[in-house]
């Protein structure tokens, strides 16, 4: 075999996207809050870019202040005379800039949401109020900071404390764990579901032993709704079993979840659909998208011609960057608006009658109607929300497959799920319907849905099986 090095010429075609096109695609995909963040960043970094509203408000404020000063000239002269007569009653009139900056920082801090207290911090504050010794505080700190967000102790005490190696006391660790388990929320510090539930029982409850036996020995039977088995095993009437289970059902298997330190996720809709004079009007929510423009000052500099070539080149690049950003934002708004209008033209039955009338819809249908690529539709609806009188929905919600009834009507998967839920809600709870029975009822309504599809939809809706739904 012969090896050699050589040069070859090759002619090929490649499709490359210009940076401006890539920027336009990225801006189209951005949700509203991300776009707002991007605009603020560009306003800070690009000196030739400015927001029209900000400039107009600033000019209006300056004009009003000037008019007020001219109209109140006589009043200022009177105040100056008074200041000369009674100097002790007037300040210097000078404003300390550092004080003003501090006041702005203080105002910003006061308007910032406080970080929520974590479960561990909440427990540690309570633990210190128990009057513990320094040794107990050391034990308690290790235990508390090994409790997860659900309130469970994540590891056995043997893994948290190396008793033999460090010479620590197991009895002391168990005692401190009991102290931690006495804190709020009830059930915190349990090592498993059984212990978490047992810790929430009232020690003075006359039925304490019965409830403990139910939790210790029949938790799986409770979860699977096997009440007759519990009744037979405990020698207890079925009505008493149901009464005790109703009392146990108020216990919380995840006590720590009440103190989650996750910040709430806010949704700002990109589209608002309103009913005006019998017609649905689609409009863009553009409060977070200020009108941008290129500063007149820099336009003037470019026309006059800057003395420094480097400065002129810098201004030219910044103007081009600002122009592409403005055009990309305008194109984004226009595309989202056109896509939303087409969506709600097709989904008007949903607006009129609710979720049961949601129609099957594919992105390709919207793309064909607007003569754009389907990937553009996908980017336009990504992480975008629409506010309607039926609620706030992601735009992707309005796209789903479906089926056609025997009468020729189209039903989306979402509307079929709603029908499945309605059938199960109306069933006789003492004789709940199986998935096969639900499929038959859908067939009676003209919808041919397989039993396994009903099972899939039921699980997606978090509806238990017929055995678990049965009421005795």
Quickly tell me which residue has 């951005």 as its tokens: 30
CA atoms within 13 A on the CB side of 219: 12
Quickly tell me which residue has 């308007």 as its tokens: 111
pLDDT in tens, 167-217: 567 888 889 999 999 998 899 999 999 999 999 999 999 999 999 999 999
CB 157 within 8 A of CB 173: yes
Q: pLDDT over 70 for what percent of the chain?
A: 80
**Which residues share a beta bridge with 279?**
276
Q: Helices 363-370 and 309-346 sit at what angle, rounded to 10 degrees?
A: 110
Q: How far apart are CA 359 and CA 374, in angstroms?
A: 19
- Looking at residue 400, what DSSP letter applies? B
Of 328, 326, 317, nearest in space to 294 by CA: 326
CB 286 within 8 A of CB 330: no
Whether the predicted pLDDT of 161 surpasses 50? yes
Q: How far apart are CA 315 and CA 52, in angstroms?
A: 20
- Rounded mean pLDDT of 16-37? 79
Whether the predicted pLDDT of 469 surpasses 70? yes
Q: What is the pLDDT of residue 218?
A: 92
- Output 424 or 402, whichever has higher pLDDT: 424
Whether the predicted pLDDT of 367 surpasses 90? yes
In this prediction the pTM is: 0.67
pLDDT in tens, 246-283: 999 899 999 988 776 666 677 889 999 999 988 999 99
List Cβ neighbours of 161 (8 Å cut-off, separation of 6 or more).
139, 142, 168, 170, 173
pLDDT in tens, 346-366: 999 999 988 888 889 999 999
CB 161 within 8 A of CB 168: yes
- Looking at residue 152, what DSSP letter applies? B
Q: What confidence tier does 448 reach under pLDDT thresholds 50, 70, 90?
A: confident
Quickly tell me which residue has 């470019």 as its tokens: 302
Q: pLDDT over 90 for what percent of the chain?
A: 29
Whether the predicted pLDDT of 311 surpasses 70? yes
Q: How far apart are CA 379 and CA 331, in angstroms?
A: 13
49: helix, strand or coil: strand
Q: What is the pLDDT of residue 33?
A: 83
Of 415, 465, 423, nearest in space to 440 by CA: 423
- Rounded mean pLDDT of 415-438? 89
Of 188, 218, 70, 79, nearest in space to 126 by CA: 188
Alpha carbon separation from 65 to 51, 53, 62, 95, 159 (Å, rounded): 21, 18, 5, 18, 70
Q: How far apart are CA 359 and CA 401, in angstroms?
A: 9
CA triplet 50, 53, 57: central angle to 5 degrees? 110
> Which range has highest mean pLDDT (57-66, 116-125, 269-278)?
269-278
The token duo for 96 is 């300390």
Q: End-to-end CA distance of the chain: give it in Å, rounded.
A: 83
Domains and CATH numbers, the chain: 120-258 (no CATH), 271-398 (no CATH), 402-469 (1.10.10.60)
- Rounded mean pLDDT of 30-57? 80
Query: Torsion-angle region of residue 427: left (phi > 0), alpha (psi -120 to 50) or beta?
Result: beta
Q: What is the pLDDT of residue 214?
A: 92
> What are the residue ranges of helices labelled H in 272-412?
296-304, 309-346, 348-353, 363-370, 374-381
CB 370 within 8 A of CB 308: no
- Rounded mean pLDDT of 231-253? 90
Mean pLDDT of the chain: 81
């Amino acid at each position: 075999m012969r090896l050699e090095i050589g040069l070859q010429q090759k002619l090929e075609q490649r499709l490359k996207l210009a940076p401006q096109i890539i920027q336009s695609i990225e801006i189209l995909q951005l949700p509203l809050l991300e776009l707002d963040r991007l605009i603020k960043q560009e306003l800070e970094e690009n000196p030739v870019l400015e927001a029209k509203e900000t400039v107009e408000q600033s000019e209006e404020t300056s004009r009003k202040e000037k008019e007020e000063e001219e109209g109140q000239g006589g009043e200022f002269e009177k105040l100056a005379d008074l200041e000369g007569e009674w100097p002790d009653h007037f300040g210097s009139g000078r404003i300390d800039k550092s004080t003003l900056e501090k006041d702005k920082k203080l105002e910003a801090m006061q308007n910032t949401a406080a970080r929520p207290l974590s479960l561990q911090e909440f427990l540690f504050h309570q633990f210190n109020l128990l009057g513990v010794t320094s040794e107990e505080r050391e034990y308690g700190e290790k235990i508390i900071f090994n409790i997860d967000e659900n309130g469970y102790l994540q590891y056995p005490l043997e893994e948290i404390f190396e008793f033999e190696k460090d010479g620590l006391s197991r009895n002391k660790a168990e005692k401190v764990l009991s102290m931690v388990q006495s804190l709020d929320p009830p059930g915190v510090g349990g090592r498993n579901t059984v212990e978490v539930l047992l810790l929430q029982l009232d020690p003075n409850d006359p039925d304490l032993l019965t409830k403990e036996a139910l939790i210790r020995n029949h938790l799986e039977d409770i979860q699977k709704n096997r009440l007759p088995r519990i009744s037979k095993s405990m020698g207890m009437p079925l009505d008493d079993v149901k009464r005790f289970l109703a009392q146990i059902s108020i216990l919380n298997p995840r006590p720590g979840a009440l103190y989650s330190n996750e910040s709430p996720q806010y949704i700002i809709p990109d589209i608002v659909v309103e009913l005006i004079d019998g017609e649905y009007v689609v409009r863009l929510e553009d409060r977070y998208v200020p009108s941008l423009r290129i500063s007149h000052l820099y336009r003037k500099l470019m026309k006059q011609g800057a003395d420094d070539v480097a400065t002129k080149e810098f201004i030219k690049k910044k103007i081009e960057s600002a122009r592409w950003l403005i055009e990309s934002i305008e194109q984004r708004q226009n595309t989202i608006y056109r896509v939303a209008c087409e969506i709600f033209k097709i989904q008007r039955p949903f607006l009129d009658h609710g979720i049961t009338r949601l129609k099957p819809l594919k992105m390709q249908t919207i793309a064909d109607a607007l003569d754009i690529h389907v990937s553009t539709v996908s980017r336009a609806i990504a992480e975008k929300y629409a506010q309607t009188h039926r609620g706030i929905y992601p735009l992707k919600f309005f796209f789903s497959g479906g089926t056609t009834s025997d009468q020729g009507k189209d039903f989306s998967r979402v509307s079929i799920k709603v029908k499945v839920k309605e059938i199960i809600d109306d069933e006789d709870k003492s004789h709940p319907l199986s998935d096969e029975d639900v499929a038959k009822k859908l067939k009676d309504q003209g919808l041919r849905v397989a039993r396994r599809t009903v099972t899939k939809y039921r699980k997606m809706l978090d509806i238990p099986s017929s055995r678990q739904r049965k009421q005795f």
